[in-house]
Amino acid sequence: MDNVDLNILRQVVQWQAAGHRVVLGTITRTWGSAPRPVGSVMAIRDDGQVAGSVSGGCIEDDLIAKVRAGALQLAAPQVVVYGVGAEEATRFGLPCGGTLELVLEPLSASSLVPALLERLTQGELVKRTLDLKTGAVRLDAPDGGDLVRLGETQLITTHGPRWRLLIIGAGQMTHYLAQMAQALDYEVIINDPRDEYASGWTVPGARLVRSMPDDTVAELKPDGHTAIVALTHDPKLDDLALMEALKSEAFYVGAIGSRVNQSKRRARLKEHFDVTDEQLARLHGPIGLKNGARTPPEIAVSILAEMIAVRYGYSIPEPVGPGDAIEAGCAV
Has residue 47 got a pLDDT over 90?
yes
68: three-class secondary structure by DSSP: helix
Asked whether the beta carbons of 16 and 113 are under 8 A apart, the reply is yes
- Letter for the amino acid at 57? G
| 258: nearest Cα among 287, 230, 235 | 287
Highest mean pLDDT among 31-35, 86-90, 262-266: 262-266
- Letter for the amino acid at 298? E
Across 200-210, average pLDDT? 85
Q: Which residues contact 295 (CB under 8 A, 6 or more apart)?
A: none
Residue 185: predicted pLDDT: 81
Q: Where are the domains of the chain?
A: 3-159, 163-311
Cα distances (Å, whole numbers) of residue 257 to 68, 180, 265, 286: 57, 21, 9, 6
Residue 196: predicted pLDDT: 87
Model confidence at 1, in pLDDT bands (50, 70, 90)? very low
Would you tell me how many other CB atoms lie within 10 Å of the CB of residue 5?
Answer: 20
| 164: nearest Cα among 180, 182, 188 | 188
Cα distances (Å, whole numbers) of residue 215 to 165, 192, 288, 307: 16, 12, 25, 23
pLDDT digit string, tens, across residues 216-229: 999 999 988 899 99
CATH number of this structure's domain 163-311, picked from the four choices 3.60.20.10, 3.40.50.150, 2.60.40.10, 3.40.50.720: 3.40.50.720
- Kindly report whether the global pTM for this prediction surpasses the value 0.75: no
Would you tell me how many other CB atoms lie within 10 Å of the CB of residue 133?
Answer: 11
Give dist(CA 204, CA 128) in Å, integer. 26
Model confidence at 276, in pLDDT bands (50, 70, 90)? very high
Residue 49: predicted pLDDT: 94
Element (H, E) at 103: strand 99-106
Across 139-159, average pLDDT? 86
Across 299-313, average pLDDT? 94
pLDDT digit string, tens, across residues 153-175: 999 998 876 789 999 999 999 99
Asked whether the beta carbons of 149 and 130 are under 8 A apart, the reply is no
| 49: nearest Cα among 101, 14, 91 | 14
Has residue 320 got a pLDDT over 80?
no
Has residue 65 got a pLDDT over 80?
yes
pLDDT digit string, tens, across residues 89-116: 556 555 555 688 999 999 999 999 999 9
